[in-house]
A and B are shown apart, each in its own frame.
Chain A
Amino acid sequence: MSQFWFEILVMGAVGLAALAPIVLIILALIDWHKEQLW
């Protein structure tokens, strides 16, 4: 694997992983607002 693709792979993964908690918190806020957490 070339360095270019290696960097894309790792940076892409780190970026997506950084998005994940934000997505989860937004989803929880929406559920909470609609009173549908449980």
Chain B
Amino acid sequence: MDSVAISAELALSILVIFGVIWIAFGWWLGRNNRTIDDFMLAGRNVGFAFASATAMATWITSNTTLVAPQLTYQFGIWGMIGYSLAALGLILFAPMAKRIKALMPHGYTCGDFIRKRYGFGAWIVFLIVSLCYAFGWLVSLGMAGGILLSSLSGLEYFWGMSAILVICIAYTLLGGLKAVIATDFVQTIIILAGVVLIAWIGISDIGLETIYTSVNEKSPQLLDLLFPAAIMFLFNNIFFGIGEIFHSNVWWSRAFAFKKDVGQKAFLTSGLLWLPIPIVTGFIALAAFSLDVYPASADMIGPLIAAQILGKVGAVFVFIVVFSALASSLDSLLAATSDLLTKDIYKGLVRKQATDLELFRFSKMAILIIGLVTWVLCIPKLTTLGSLLNFTGAFVASTIFPIVFGLYFKRLNGVAAALAMAIGTLCGLVGYFTIGFYVAALIACAVSLIICLVGMALVNQRYSWQQLQSED
């Protein structure tokens, strides 16, 4: 976008105001953190309201505000419905959250589970998948922040990106998961109020009838429910979303942190509340045709239309909404990836006898390290790195069935699980390059299911669930 809607000074003031509020809030929440359970898992006692809000806020990323309109612009009706069905990831995780808390009441990370359930080999494969995904997501968030701030306000990419990262790192560091969850609650309210307001102004200014008529006239394929590529995309996106949630420590750490009996209810509620959001943020892309405004590249359609409909005030809103959406995911991801580094890499591989106090200290250091690595990776602004996240569809979808079978059946063994993840990923990547991004997750998931089934037919491991509760 060429037009700069708000001044760099205004953008900077908004950043500073929100930054100070979040950091002070983080410090205040973290002042009583004494143990590693307090810091990493908010004392394992998060109530229903905060639990629902944090699950929802984390799942509303910059992607929901930027990619939902992009997919609507590219795939039309199925694009926004397909994106909104990513809520199924949250909904299906609900029973799993209950099972996870029951099987491992003292667990910390999803890596813990994979190691105890499947052994060393599968654990390594899983860690590679998980860390690739976590960094892909972190970098895409950091870059999205910088790019968006620069396109809305003329604030230089480097400073916008750095500011967002520094703010999120600071309050996560000070307050741990408590700060992440409490800020998520406030951020959810801001995001929801913002997107509804933008959508409402769009509807009342342009009118749904006008939008529909001009799409029908200029780009009729978008309204066509028999749109081949969009039909292919539908389940692929569902499995991408399910894979992202099922495997990632962002969601497992929440399953551990929520109060007993809260997890299932909270994930179900957050999924249902999340469901309409991509349609609300996505449909305004279709206003392009009645406004006669067309994007240079599809990924900028959301902010382009929002700024067009709302002018300067709108740009401030978009700025705050996207900043909140970014922060609510970035903080969660920082915390969860730091848990993974602390419990799995540091305690699992480097210092097996580390005490809780040492782990507590290391987990803070880990947040700093991850933040620093993300910042360095974001500096060159390689948009291709951002599209890496798309690429990880194959990785994450291959973990769905190994995790589900691992949680519910004693039969599946580690070799089959490791092969399912590795070969599933490879086949998904082949699909990505030969057919298109919209089949990678689907193929990866299907192949890994077949390998799991073959594995279970050949060998019966008879795993004992007690092993999951054992100390290392």
Determine whether A and B are in direct contact in the complex, meaning some CB atoms lie less than 8 angstroms apart.
yes
Known interface pairs A37-B47, A38-B43; A14-B276 also in contact (CB < 8 Å): yes
Do A13 and B47 touch across chains, with their CB atoms under 8 A apart? Answer: no
Partner of A18, one of B45, B50, B196: B196
Partner of B47, one of A15, A24, A31: A31
Q: Which residues between 164 and 193 of chain B lie within 8 Å of chain A, taking CB atoms?
A: 178, 185, 188-189, 192-193
> Nearest chain-B residue to A7 (Cβ)?
B208
Most buried by A among B42, B47, B203: B47
Known interface pairs A27-B48, A36-B48, A38-B43; A17-B192 also in contact (CB < 8 Å): yes
> What 10 A-B pairs are tightest by C-beta distance, nearest first?
A13-B279, A13-B276, A27-B49, A28-B49, A16-B276, A21-B192, A36-B47, A31-B49, A20-B273, A31-B47
Known interface pairs A6-B77, A7-B212; A28-B50 also in contact (CB < 8 Å): yes
Partner of A10, one of B52, B189, B283: B283
Do B276 and A17 touch across chains, with their CB atoms under 8 A apart? Answer: yes
Please count how many residues in chain B sit with their CB below 8 Å of the partner chain's CB atoms.
Answer: 41
Do B223 and A1 touch across chains, with their CB atoms under 8 A apart? Answer: yes
Enumerate chain A residues within 8 angstroms of B52, measured Cβ to Cβ: 24, 27
Within the assembled complex, what's the spacing in Å between the Cα atoms of A20 and B277?
Answer: 10
Q: In whole Å, how far is A21's beta carbon from the nearest beta carbon of chain B? A: 4
> Nearest chain-A residue to B275 (Cβ)?
A16
Do A9 and B279 touch across chains, with their CB atoms under 8 A apart? Answer: yes
Within the assembled complex, what's the spacing in Å between the Cα atoms of A28 and B48?
Answer: 8
Most buried by B among A7, A10, A14: A10
Do B50 and A31 touch across chains, with their CB atoms under 8 A apart? Answer: yes
Interface residues on A, range: 20 to 34
Judge if B439 is at the interface, Cβ distance under 8 Å.
no
Partner of B188, one of A10, A18, A24: A24
Enumerate chain A residues within 8 angstroms of B189, measured Cβ to Cβ: 21, 24-25
Do B50 and A37 touch across chains, with their CB atoms under 8 A apart? Answer: yes
Known interface pairs A10-B203, A37-B47; A24-B53 also in contact (CB < 8 Å): yes
Q: In whole Å, how far is B325's beta carbon from the nearest beta carbon of chain A? A: 14
A-side interface residues toward B, CB under 8 Å? Answer: 1, 3, 6-7, 9-18, 20-21, 23-25, 27-28, 30-32, 36-38
> Nearest chain-B residue to A6 (Cβ)?
B212
Within the assembled complex, what's the spacing in Å between the Cα atoms of A30 and B51?
Answer: 13
Enumerate chain B residues within 8 angstroms of A27, measured Cβ to Cβ: 48-49, 52, 269
Do A14 and B45 touch across chains, with their CB atoms under 8 A apart? Answer: no
Do B223 and A37 touch across chains, with their CB atoms under 8 A apart? Answer: no
Within the assembled complex, what's the spacing in Å between the Cα atoms of A17 and B277?
Answer: 6
> Nearest chain-B residue to A9 (Cβ)?
B279
Enumerate chain B residues within 8 angstroms of A21, measured Cβ to Cβ: 188-189, 192-193
> Nearest chain-B residue to A29 (Cβ)?
B49
Judge if B199 is at the interface, Cβ distance under 8 Å.
yes
Judge if B217 is at the interface, Cβ distance under 8 Å.
no
New A-B pairs, 15, CB < 8 Å, besides A10-B208, A24-B52, A27-B52 = A1-B225, A3-B212, A3-B213, A7-B209, A12-B276, A17-B276, A21-B193, A23-B269, A27-B269, A31-B47, A31-B49, A32-B49, A36-B259, A38-B47, A38-B178
Enumerate chain A residues within 8 angstroms of B259, measured Cβ to Cβ: 36
Do B188 and A38 touch across chains, with their CB atoms under 8 A apart? Answer: no
Enumerate chain A residues within 8 angstroms of B255, measured Cβ to Cβ: none
Within the assembled complex, what's the spacing in Å between the Cα atoms of A8 and B160?
Answer: 38
Do A14 and B192 touch across chains, with their CB atoms under 8 A apart? Answer: no
Do B49 and A3 touch across chains, with their CB atoms under 8 A apart? Answer: no
Enumerate chain A residues within 8 angstroms of B129, measured Cβ to Cβ: none
Enumerate chain A residues within 8 angstroms of B394, measured Cβ to Cβ: none
Most buried by A among B50, B195, B209, B224: B50
Do A24 and B223 touch across chains, with their CB atoms under 8 A apart? Answer: no
Q: In whole Å, how far is B55's beta carbon from the nearest beta carbon of chain A? A: 11
Enumerate chain B residues within 8 angstroms of A30, measured Cβ to Cβ: 49
Within the assembled complex, what's the spacing in Å between the Cα atoms of A16 and B225?
Answer: 23
Enumerate chain A residues within 8 angstroms of B223, measured Cβ to Cβ: 1, 6
Partner of A17, one of B195, B208, B213, B225: B195
Within the assembled complex, what's the spacing in Å between the Cα atoms of A20 and B50?
Answer: 13
The 0/1 profile, CB within 8 Å of A marked 1, for residues 36-62 of chain B is: 000000110111111011001000000
